[in-house]
Amino acid sequence: MARGLFDNPVMLLILLLIIILLFGAPKLPGMARSLGQSMRIFKSEVDDMKKDGKNKNASATTPVEGEVINNPSHGSVSSTDPVVDNHNK
């Protein structure tokens, strides 16, 4: 049915006329404005989500450098070997 609706321009014009009669001409610009604002908000949120995903990937591949210091409460550390974190693998 929807396929035939878009193939026949007369049916589409009748549908537009019914919409204008139901909602009224004064309400249509407000509805279009509201729809446009909603689409802008949705688009900005999608862009923010894409940026968040890129930032997470960049921070995950950045190596972290640090220095091991002695903690008097846990005794002295005598090893100079690097500390490897196996939790993220």
**Domain locations in the chain?**
27-51
Residue 47's H or E segment, with its range, is helix 27-61
Give, in order, the Cα–Cα distances in Å from 33 to each of 17, 36, 63, 87. Answer: 20, 5, 48, 50
Does pLDDT of 31 surpass 80?
yes
Instruction: Compute the distance between CA of residue 47 and CA of residue 54 in angstroms, rounded to an integer.
Output: 11
What confidence tens digit (pLDDT) does each residue in 33-89 have? Answer: 999 999 999 999 999 999 987 776 555 567 778 887 776 665 555 666 677 777 765
pTM for the structure as a whole:
0.39
Phi, psi dihedrals of residue 63, rounded to the nearest 5°:
-70, 145
Q: How confident is the model at residue 9 (pLDDT cuts 50, 70, 90)?
A: confident
CA distance 20 to 54: 45
Q: Check pLDDT > 90 for residue 28.
A: no
